[in-house]
Structure 1
Amino acid sequence: MTTLTADAYTTSSDGTRIAYDLTGPTPGLAPAVVVVDGVLAHRLPVTHAVATELGQEVTTLRYDRRGRGASGDTAPYSVDREVDDIAALLDVTGPAALVGISTGGFLALRAAADLGPGVTAVLCWEPTYDVASGEAPADPRMIAGVEACVAAGDPGSAVELFLDVVGMPCGLVPRMRASASWADLEAIAPTIAYDGRVLAAVALGRRALMCRWDQIVQPALVADGTASAATVRTAADSLAAVLPAARRTTLPGHGADVPPAAMADAVAGLLRRAGVP
């Protein structure tokens, strides 16, 4: 058994190098979980804490989505390429459950539909889109506006634009710009549009998820927190209602404030439902 904290790499089908770390047993010796981050996030401290809670009972793989952290990127972007990245990671772990955070939950569901039994279960934590609303999944500024800022060489404005999309008070932005994490946010600003396209693909395109809910037959858990926003609660309810094998739960706290032990318990329960020993 092993715990790997240094970067390891796998290669996606288009040649992009994807960085990851492993916590827990050597792949193949225990159930596996792959964490799929949301917008402007990669390998968050809270997911490392959850992996530590899962300990030697579960192999947990956390990775940098393309264009983030130590992973590479290859143009042009497509959601299919991100699914290919997950497929390459499943070559490392073997069949695994996906834990998708925020917009990453919809990417995890897309992978579950595309990759079939390679994905054993899906946990969607704080989904951001009400699939029953009839509204556009992604604010156009999250794609076209962000891409225009990046093309103009102004990633900081791309981040500010996204913060406005999600409703951050403008008075907090200067404080964020002065923080040590701002440079990292600017470095991955182009990937904001990637998450916008993941959301758009829920309802738009030839392979829209809304036309494929019945293909996601894996056990699913849709979770929010006791302190999650009302919009997140509504989104979680709507998503659980359309997935064939979904259960709905609410954990204490929200976002990065959820106790790692509570999230680890939810993941372990999902693995049991999936029949993973």
Structure 2
Amino acid sequence: MPTVTSADGTTIAYSRVGSGPPLILVDGAMCYRAFGPAAKLADALAGSFTVYFYDRRGRGESGDTKAYAVEREVEDLEALISAAGGEVVVYGCSSGAALALEAAKRPDSRIRKLALYELPAVTDSTHQPWPVDLLERTDQLIAADRRSDAVQLFMKTVGAPGFMVAIMKLTPVWKKLKAVAPTIPNDLRVLGGTGAGKPLPADRWTSVTVPTLVMDGGKSPDYMRNSQRQLAEVLPNAEHRTLPGQTHMVKADAHAPVITEFLGT
């Protein structure tokens, strides 16, 4: 298992498949190499890129050095960029889109292109804002080792149907979600208030000038598609695209051709 060492000494585990220019995949909340869409997506992209995908800190086989800061996760990604050769393209999904943007806005960023899928955000009145105390409540639940409650709160907040959560709690999936529940507050910090029901701050990512593709799914709710269009508008060099028939659940066969077309040029 290949690893890199982040600036604070944390070991970050990753996998590499394919050949071609380096592409790094950045997962969303509670996902890691053995659980989530990254492995299938990496395989679908391996014919066009050398694809790197990794366990974000606190997940899978990666370490987790306290205390958490968004900058530490950016440094994790930077360490992987160095391992990939120093100049890369990046695909970020869900909260991974926010992390990719945070890395790309650094003055010394070595990211030359971005593809982003469904940054979690509520930016208008088409959906109720996330609770103002969401991060505080989640921190409290994790501190009390109430992992199941933390997962349930997060899934309810992002719109997972109650019946689906109830079914998941009866399957082995729930155990995997509970294992990475302590990283949920990390994702909320990376997102930084994108669910407040207000327009995205115009200046948060204006320094991200690399070509960027912002995507959403045609079957995703209105608030999600609205927020992606707004993200594309606030980024200096972005375009927006809707993937017909798709939802927040990433399907490799739908994403890979679009990613290849945009990031491979």
TM-score over 0.5 for the alignment? Answer: yes
Taking only aligned residues, the RMSD between alpha carbons, in angstroms, comes to 2.5
In 2: Cα distance, 1:33 partner to 1:115 partner: 20
| Corresponding position of 2:50 | 59
Tell me by how many angstroms 1:79 deviates. Answer: 0.4
Match of 1:194 in 2: 186
Aligned partner letter, 1:270: F
1:42-73 per-residue CA deviation (whole Å, 9 max, x = no partner) reads 13553322222222420111111111111110
Residue 263 of structure 1 and its aligned partner are, at CA, apart by: 1.4
Structure 1 CA distance for aligned equivalents of residues 104 and 201 of structure 2 = 11
Matched, 1:244 2:236: yes
What SS does the aligned partner of 1:164 have? helix
Distance in 1 separating the partners of 2:239 and 2:169: 39
Which residue of 195, 198, 223 maps to 1:231? 223
Counterpart among 31, 54, 76 of residue 41 in structure 1: 31
What does residue 72 of structure 1 align with? Answer: 63
The amino acid of 1:256's aligned partner reads: M
Q: Distance in 2 between matches of 1:32 and 1:40?
A: 24
Q: What amino acid does structure 2 have at the position aligned with 1:80? A: E
* Cα distance in 1 for residues equivalent to 2:26 and 2:129: 19
| DSSP-derived class of the 2:2 partner | strand
Q: 2:80 aligned with 1:86, yes or no?
A: no
Q: 3-state DSSP class of the match of 1:85? A: helix
Deviation at 1:214, TM superposition (A): 2.7
Q: CA deviation at 1:180?
A: 0.5
AA aligned opposite 2:118: E
| One-letter amino acid of the structure 2 residue matched with residue 261 of structure 1 | D
Distance 2:204 2:235 in 1: 10
Higher helix share: 1
Residues of 1 paired with 2:108 and 2:228: CA distance? 23
Amino acid at match of 2:8: D
Alignment map for 1:252-267 (pairs within 5 Å): 252=244, 253-256=246-249, 258=251, 260-267=252-259
* Deviation (angstroms), 1:226: 1.5
The answer to whether the 8 A contact 1:141-1:165 is kept is: no
Percent sequence identity over aligned pairs: 35
**Which SS does the other structure have where 1:244 is aligned?**
coil
Flag the 1:159–1:93 CA change in 2: closer, same or farther, 3 A: same
Which amino acid is the alignment partner of residue 120 of structure 2?
A: T
Mapped partners of 2:100, 2:129: distance in 1: 16
Q: Secondary structure at the match of 1:122?
A: strand
SS at match of 1:143: helix
Following superposition of structure 1 onto structure 2, how do residues 125-144 of structure 1 map, counting pairs within 5 Å?
Answer: 125-130=117-122, 139-144=131-136
Residues 10 and 18 of structure 1 are in contact (CA less than 8 Å); yes or no, is this contact kept in structure 2? yes
Once residues 33 and 209 of structure 1 are traced to their aligned partners in structure 2, the CA distance between those partners, rounded to angstroms, is 28
TM-score (norm 1): 0.84
Q: Distance in 1 between matches of 2:188 and 2:160?
A: 17
CA contact (8 A) 2:147 2:181 kept: yes
Q: Measured at CA, do residues 114 and 203 of structure 1 come closer, stay the same or move farther in structure 2, by a change above 3 Å?
A: farther
Does the 8 Å contact 2:130/2:157 carry over to 1? no
> For residues 35 and 53 of structure 1, do their structure 2 counterparts lie closer, same or farther at Cα, with a shift above 3 Å needed?
same
Distance in 1 (CA, whole Å) between partners of 2:22 and 2:88 is 5
Structure 2, unmatched stretches of 5+, are none
Aligned residues: 258
Equivalent residue, structure 2, for 1:9: 3
Code of the residue aligned with 2:58 in structure 1: it is G
Letter of the 2:31 counterpart: A
Shift of 1:132: 7.2
Instruction: Please point out which of 176, 181, 187 is paired with 1:184.
Output: 176
What amino acid sits opposite 1:21 in the alignment?
A: S
- 1:46/1:167 Cα in 2 relative to 1: closer, same or farther (>3 Å)? closer
In the alignment, which residue of structure 1 is the partner of 2:15? 21
Contiguous gaps of at least 5 residues in structure 1? 1-6
Change (3 A) 1:188 1:115: farther
1:3 corresponds in structure 2 to: none
TM-superposition CA deviations, 1:164-202 (whole Å, max 9, x none):
212334344332111111111111111111111011176
